[in-house]
Structure 1
Amino acid sequence: MSETQQHDIYPSMTVSTDNKTEKIAPIKLGERLKEIRKTLGLTLEEASQKTGLARSTLSKIENEQISPTFQAMQKLTTGLQIDIPQLFSAPKKVTATGRRDITRNEEGKAHPTSTYEHELLAIQLTNKKMMPFKSKVRARDFSDYSAWIRHDGEEFLLVLSGEITFFSEFYEPVNLQQGDSVYYDANMGHMLISISDDDALILWVTAS
């Protein structure tokens, strides 16, 4: 197929940004379909059986000899169990950083306050997107706090042992026992008290 024919099938697009013209590569459905099929570990024959499209038709689509009709694309997405947008854009390549930090039991960094006894976890990692820590809840009454606790981000709380009352600015107080959890907007005022005989132990994960 000549360059002119390819240009006719896959017209290029341009966008203007700051008075500069940036060229966007033309979409090649055939190449994308072949990539998806190989990622799924399917032969042309197996893809044909799953989609109901003839093997020869699939081969022609992959080799850019024909463009698939909308009906053919529906069969492709249904048979291969993918979404139509996946035919038009490749997934972003993600590079693993290999970050890892193990915190042995009771070897986190202690950070006691008047209402909590925190143990910060994964302290070797910097610039974390999440801040995990265990806390022993010392507070026993709402009046132990001078004001609502609030900060940026969202927070997940899991009760590891004991029982707490979870107070929040816009909801009625709720009691949480071992194994119970709550996910909430940390900008909303919140606070905890222990209501079990022993101070409750909780796992907290704060995400920015």
Structure 2
Amino acid sequence: MSNEQSVDVYPSMTVVKEQESEKAEKIEPLQLGKRLKEIRTAHGLTLEEASKRTGLARSTLSKIENEQISPTFQAMQKLASGLDIDIPQLFSPPKQITATGRRDITRKEEGKPHPTTTYEHELLATQLTKKKMMPFKSRIRAREFEDYSDWIRHDGEEFLLVLEGEITFFSEFYEPVNLSEGDSVYYDATMGHMLVSVSEQDAHILWVTSS
């Protein structure tokens, strides 16, 4: 095999090696100081506030963030504890956030009606599919605990805000509690729960259920 033939046979291997070299050059080295600053600012903390939380001197934090010193393992433990994170998070680059641009406006009283024997729901943001949250407004028709045949249970967690009137919030593991306009409750929706209106008029609430 001549030298000319050798040049013709192996150019693809050379290209692959060059591409691998380019990829290697694009991999950024770990910048612990930069990562620490990102975590601190994401928590809305100044250096002074982070110092109080972690027990590390402000000057020490500043030097770590500016890559002037490397933190000891003990210092990293203090950082993780004070910033309420796990140590591996100090070494993991933040996930890139990509906006989906999803939006859905529901005008007043233009939600999708969904009446039941105890509630009259108005489903909101119905044009969006695969939502991580399900928002809806409800008028509470039920007046007594006995209006329900059993506890209501479903997957996820739920947030409830009283918009108008007063309700009694019953839950499987807690004593009943009365909630008035402006009051709210966040709870595990797999726990049995139900609502009744105790005001003269039917109470109105905003419900947000997470999947």
TM-score (normalizing by structure 2): 0.64
Alignment of 1:51-130 (within 5 A): 51=59, 61=67, 68=70, 70=72, 87-130=90-133
Answering whether residue 174 of structure 2 is matched by residue 171 of structure 1, we say yes
Q: Partner of 1:133 in structure 2?
A: 136
Give the gaps of 5 or more residues in structure 2.
1-26, 42-57
Counterpart Cα distance in 2 of 1:68 and 1:97? 38
Q: Partner of 1:7 in structure 2?
A: none
Counterpart Cα distance in 1 of 2:131 and 2:114? 18
Give the gaps of 5 or more residues in structure 1.
1-25, 41-49
1:144-192 Cα shifts (integer Å, max 9, x gaps): 1111111111111110000011111111111110011111111111111
Structure ranking higher in helix proportion? 2
Summarize the Cα distance change of 1:34–1:148 in structure 2 as closer, same or farther, 3 Å threshold. Answer: closer
Secondary structure at the residue paired with 1:187? coil
CA contact (8 A) 1:27 1:88 kept: no
Q: Partner of 1:17 in structure 2?
A: none
Alignment of 1:136-151 (within 5 A): 136-151=139-154
Secondary structure at the residue paired with 1:143? helix
Q: Partner of 1:28 in structure 2?
A: 29
**Aligned partner of 1:106: which letter?**
E
RMSD of equivalent CA atoms: 3.6
CA contact (8 A) 1:134 1:203 kept: yes
1:89: Cα distance to partner? Answer: 2.3
Counterpart Cα distance in 2 of 1:53 and 1:189? 47
Counterpart Cα distance in 2 of 1:54 and 1:154? 40
Summarize the Cα distance change of 1:191–1:53 in structure 2 as closer, same or farther, 3 Å threshold. Answer: closer
Structure ranking higher in strand proportion? 1
1:58: Cα distance to partner? Answer: 8.7
Summarize the Cα distance change of 1:91–1:140 in structure 2 as closer, same or farther, 3 Å threshold. Answer: same
1:87-114 Cα shifts (integer Å, max 9, x gaps): 5221111211111111111110001111
1:138: Cα distance to partner? Answer: 0.5
Answering whether residue 198 of structure 2 is matched by residue 195 of structure 1, we say yes
